[in-house]
Amino acid sequence: MTLLDDFLIRAALAGIGLALAAAPLGCFVVWRRMAYFGDATAHASILGVALALAFDVSVFGGVLVTALAMATTVSTLSGRGYAMDTLLGVLAHTALALGLVAVSFLHWVRIDLMSYLFGDILAVGHMDLAVIWSGATATLALLVWRWSALLTSTLNPDLAHAAGIDPRREQLILTLALAVVVAVAIKVVGVLLIAAMLIVPAATARAFANTPERMALIAAAVGVLSVIVGLRVSFVGDTPTGPTIVTVAAGCFMVASLIRGLFDHRHLRSHKEDS
């Protein structure tokens, strides 16, 4: 029996792979205020699952193509008179509804819809693990390669133009990375919780980071910690694993917010006493 034959170890490795990719990407989602954009891309993945099963192709491929199509559609329509939140709301819920309707027609395929909605990390196999880590590695490599350009276009588009950086191209690169993470995350935490794994660790890290790079590293650490603790709590308490991981991440965010609030209060009081 090899090390990877233990389902808990496979689950932990899958969750860690997702956390390492989602955390730095989630920082850009937070900085650009794209939370709903990530949610819309995740919702569209159910339609990708349905299409992949209908045409008997890879679920990862189907989800990736659908997520990219959703992201491209949003980017194309966003500058044509539509309010972004309205556009995302319409497209996200339409794609999710179409996916659920399409799944209902697949009578010849046995589908555990709950595993796609909330994830089934404990059922991750060797091939799933290879796909997750391949996607995570590709996403990290893309972010490292374009980090400076992405950061510049995020903080100041005018400065990016002056430096010869095309903000729309960087937006497209970020969209591609987001689609890949959604495709690999569906097995781990499911459609409804993907956005949480992108946003919550990054939001937690924001309370302690004073540089973008430090925020990305802290977010990755929070994500990995949430996976490990969430798996343990789920195993001991017999709770759904994906939601438990997200709950632990939310707990980290609340603790971080409390610590930050206490620190700011003490700093303010000390400043008043000094003056």
Q: How confident is the model at residue 90 (pLDDT cuts 50, 70, 90)?
A: confident
Cα(60)–Cα(233) distance, integer angstroms: 28
Scanning the chain, the segments in alpha helix (DSSP H) are 7-31, 35-54, 59-77, 84-104, 113-118, 126-155, 157-162, 167-185, 194-206, 212-237, 241-274
Note whether residue 272 is domain-resident.
Answer: no
Which of 5, 13, 18, 2 shows the shortest CA–CA distance to 195?
Answer: 18
Cα(102)–Cα(49) distance, integer angstroms: 9
Q: How confident is the model at residue 216 (pLDDT cuts 50, 70, 90)?
A: very high
Note whether residue 257 is domain-resident.
Answer: no
Note whether residue 210 is domain-resident.
Answer: no
Note whether residue 42 is domain-resident.
Answer: yes
Cα(210)–Cα(49) distance, integer angstroms: 40
Q: What is the DSSP letter of 192?
A: G
Domain count, the chain: 1
Q: What is the pLDDT of residue 248?
A: 95
Is residue 115 over pLDDT 60?
Answer: yes
Cα(23)–Cα(19) distance, integer angstroms: 6
Cα(203)–Cα(14) distance, integer angstroms: 22
Note whether residue 65 is domain-resident.
Answer: yes
Q: Quickly tell me which residue has 């008179």 as its tokens.
A: 81
What is the domain range of residue 156? Answer: 3-192
For the CA atoms of 23, 29, 30, 35, the dihedral, rounded to the nearest 10 degrees, stands at -110
CATH number at residue 55: 1.10.3470.10
Note whether residue 172 is domain-resident.
Answer: yes
Reported as a single tens digit per residue, the pLDDT across 219-267 is: 999 999 999 999 999 989 989 888 999 999 999 999 998 988 787 667 6
Cβ atoms of residues 238 and 229 within 8 Å: no
Tell me which range, 115-119, 185-189, 204-208, 266-270, is most confidently predicted by mean pLDDT: 204-208
- Letter for the amino acid at 169? R
Note whether residue 251 is domain-resident.
Answer: no
Note whether residue 131 is domain-resident.
Answer: yes
Q: Roughly what angle, to the nearest 10 degrees, separates helices 241-274 and 194-206? A: 20
Reported as a single tens digit per residue, the pLDDT across 2-59 is: 555 588 888 999 999 999 999 889 999 888 887 777 777 788 888 888 888 888 788 8
